[in-house]
Amino acid sequence: MKINYTKLLKIFLISIFYFVIDMVVAYAHGEKAMEPYFRTRTVMFYDVTWSTDNVKVGENVTIEGKFRLHSDWPQAVDDPDVIYVNQSIPGPVFAKIESYLNGVPARQSFRDMEVGKDYHYKMVLQGRVPGNHHVHPGIAIKGSGTIIGPGQFIKVSGSQKDFKFPVTTMDGVLIEDLETYALADVFKWHSTLAILGIFWLLWWVWRPLLIPRYQALKQGREDLLITRLDLTVGILLGVFVFVAIVYNYNVQANKYPITVPLQTSRMYTDPLPVADPQIKINVSRAEYDIPGRTMRMWVEVKNNGDNKVRLGELTTANLRFINKSFGHAMNNVTANYPSEHMADGGLEIDKDKYINPGESHKMFITAQDARWETERLTAFLTDVDARVGALLFFYDEEGNRKILDVASSILPVFTDDDGTGPSYQRIGR
């Protein structure tokens, strides 16, 4: 058959073309795939900052912030008995230099975290691979997975070839680059054993192999199949391999006289000392208006403190709804905070005012944004655990902040009649 090379080349080029045009870059790290009860009622990130959004290869970026372990911890998620301060980045595009939880080095995992408490984390990453990378902090919970915090694009410029990671061992030896450390030993030894193995295979494969050997064996001529020479070569090879192992093992032991096993232990830190906010909140009803893409909450706030407080922000699943008419709340938004985590409409509060000490005040909160849908947070409509949680940020007149975590069952609303404004408040009252 005559092969039509031109046709084959065309098919090849078309295949490549379709492959290339179909490629899209994935920027997310799967957070949308996590159920709403996971994202709204477990690790609640806030005050997240990135020291810069532009570094060169070899330069550092610091990510820090706080998180609260929500009091209404879902039944389906393992308790935070063991956690790890993690990061979500597209592969090792950054090298991790340092990480801390409440100032304690977070090289290893932490145990016995307390639900309802706050923790501070910090990590320092160093640019390694050029590109525009989406960088999230994350808290990994043993048995459940990593809860990802808000993400920021950080541009790494330069050349990966310039990346070097020097390390000094405890016996004072400077390793110029961790990326290539001791690889020469590995290549040499693996090549040696591979050559010995290939020699042994060739020794047998080179000679008449399958059909002749099978037939000869059937005729009872095993004596021809394995000769004295084969036996001698085999024994010599076995002895050589054994001696080579012992010899190289000792060479390495002399080359690196001090070694330690892999290190593992569980760390512990107390939660941050956060004062009692002296605010009690009762969520009497929460709804999600499906056509309006709006979450509504009816809450009663009792101020047991000595200062007047006012609601400034609702945060859930890394989405921030800010009370834009309130200066203290707006001041809490840093200039370079990623816009994809800011709800455009902000937080609407009916009867928005300072709540006096000792006063109980009923409020109707509206958090409207298309991100409820695009972030797949409306899956609580189909989940077995149809509850939603959030952090509420209150401020006193001097701008001091008090944070409360709230949660409630959430009811879907399928129609949009009278779905806006105070007149709608009759529902649930």
> Which residues from 153-172 bind another protein, rule CB under 8 A?
165, 167-171
Tell me how crowded residue 103 is: count the other CB atoms within 10 A of its CB. Answer: 10
Residues 6 or more apart whose CB falls under 8 angstroms from that of 262 comprise none
Size of the site for another protein (CB under 8 A): 101
Q: Write the interaction track for another protein spanning residues 260-279; mark x where CB under 8 A is met and - where it is not.
A: xxxxx---------------
| Cβ contact 392:311 at 8 Å | yes
Q: Which residues, 107 to 146, sit near another protein by CB under 8 A?
A: 107-109, 128-129, 138, 140, 142, 146
- How far lies 179's CA from each of 86, 92, 129, 133, 182, in Å? 21, 12, 13, 21, 9
Q: CB nearer to another protein: give 13 or 167.
A: 167
d(CA 329, CA 305): 19
Q: CB nearer to another protein: give 8 or 231.
A: 231
| Cα-Cα end-to-end distance for the chain | 83
- Using left for φ > 0, alpha for ψ between -120 and 50, and beta otherwise, residue 242 falls in alpha
Q: CB nearer to another protein: give 91 or 422.
A: 91
- How far lies 391's CA from each of 70, 148, 222, 355, in Å? 8, 16, 80, 18
Provide, rounded to whole angstroms, the least separation between the CB of residue 165 and another protein: 6
Provide, rounded to whole angstroms, the least separation between the CB of residue 79 and another protein: 14
Provide, rounded to whole angstroms, the least separation between the CB of residue 269 and another protein: 14
Identify which range of 207-215, 298-306, 361-369, 383-391 contacts another protein by CB under 8 A: 207-215
Q: CB nearer to another protein: give 87 or 408.
A: 87
Q: Which residues, 210 to 239, sit near another protein by CB under 8 A?
A: 210-217, 219, 221-222, 224-227, 229-231, 234-235, 237-238
Q: Which residues, 45 to 104, sit near another protein by CB under 8 A?
A: 82-84, 86-89, 91-98
Identify which range of 33-41, 46-54, 202-210, 348-356 contacts another protein by CB under 8 A: 202-210
Q: What is the 3-state secondary structure (H, E, C) of 52-110?
A: CCEEECCCEEEEEEEEEECCCCCCCCCCCCEEEEEEECCCCCEEEEEEEECCEECCCCE
Among 258, 275, 335, 384, binds another protein (CB under 8 A): 258
Identify which range of 16-24, 179-187, 319-327, 350-358 contacts another protein by CB under 8 A: 179-187
Among 14, 16, 251, 272, binds another protein (CB under 8 A): 251
The verdict on 350 binding another protein (CB under 8 A) reads: no
d(CA 280, CA 406): 10
Identify which range of 46-54, 201-209, 371-379, 404-412 contacts another protein by CB under 8 A: 201-209
d(CA 184, CA 201): 26
DSSP 358: T
The verdict on 28 binding another protein (CB under 8 A) reads: no
d(CA 99, CA 102): 10
The verdict on 248 binding another protein (CB under 8 A) reads: yes
Radius of gyration for the chain, computed over Cα atoms and rounded to the nearest angstrom: 31
d(CA 175, CA 173): 6
Among 115, 241, 290, 386, binds another protein (CB under 8 A): 241
Q: CB nearer to another protein: give 6 or 259.
A: 259
Q: CB nearer to another protein: give 262 or 275.
A: 262
Q: CB nearer to another protein: give 92 or 412.
A: 92
Report which of 303, 385, 311 is spatially closest to residue 77, judged by C-alpha positions.
385
